[in-house]
């Protein structure tokens, strides 16, 4: 049954890419609850949360043609919303804490607190990166769908240097996370 749902999502994405407004509406209906839950974790005001949701859908619509695997739509949308939440919280510099009443069990609360703590820790770790990697990391996370050509142009670097610098950046971040004993198990 899980595969059938994924195939349905892929079919909806394909139809929406072909201009089917009904398919686009079904995608919005299917994924809006998930996006609202993810956005809620940032404890934004209602208005800011609505803005992030609308921006997420706008960016998704504008970039729908770039989706090659419709089965990955949920992750793609989640990434867009996450980046938009980060951009908003960076702009406002508000403390991001979860709405504990809406989370449910103690495990849910612990998991959400850990994720929020990790987001702050990641920002600290990015500051520890060498200048070139830090600038590249920020350039790559400014938009929901960064393109190496645009990033290279913005940074005044050769396009061929972006991928290797990105790889070194992510390897360094993984090492910094491991040094703090933060692994995938930490959030599970």
DSSP characters for 151-167? HHHHHT--HHHHHHHHH
**Using the 8-state DSSP alphabet, how is residue 143 labeled?**
S
Write down the pLDDT at residue 95: 44
Write down the pLDDT at residue 96: 45
User: Helix (H) and strand (E) counts for the chain?
Assistant: 10, 0
Q: What residue has token string 């403390």?
A: 95
**Using the 8-state DSSP alphabet, how is residue 175 labeled?**
H
Helix, strand, coil in percent for the chain, rounding step 5: 80, 0, 20
Contact assessment for residue 159 and residue 149, using Cβ atoms and an 8 Å cutoff: yes
Among 60-74, 102-116, 118-132, 161-175, which stretch is predicted with the lowest mean pLDDT?
102-116
Mean pLDDT over 71-76 rounds to: 87
Write down the pLDDT at residue 184: 59
The percentage of residues in the chain with a pLDDT greater than 90, rounded to a whole number, is: 23
């Amino acid at each position: 049954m899980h595969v059938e749902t994924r195939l349905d999502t892929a079919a909806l994405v394909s139809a929406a890419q072909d201009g089917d407004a009904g398919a686009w509406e079904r995608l919005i209906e299917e994924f809006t609850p998930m996006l609202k839950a993810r956005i809620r974790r940032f404890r934004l005001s209602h208005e800011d949360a609505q803005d992030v949701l609308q921006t997420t859908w706008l960016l998704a619509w504008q970039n729908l043609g770039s989706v090659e695997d419709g089965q990955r739509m949920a992750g793609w949308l989640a990434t867009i919303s996450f980046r938009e939440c980060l951009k908003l919280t960076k702009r406002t510099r508000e403390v991001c804490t979860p709405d504990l009443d809406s989370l449910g069990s103690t495990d849910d609360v612990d998991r959400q607190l850990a994720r929020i703590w990790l987001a702050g820790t990641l920002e600290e770790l990015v500051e520890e990166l060498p200048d070139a990697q830090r600038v590249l990391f920020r350039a790559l996370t400014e938009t929901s769908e960064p393109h190496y050509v645009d990033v290279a142009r913005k940074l005044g670097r050769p396009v061929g240097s972006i991928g290797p610098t990105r790889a070194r950046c992510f390897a360094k971040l993984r090492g910094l996370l491991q040094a703090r004993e933060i692994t995938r198990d930490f959030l599970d």
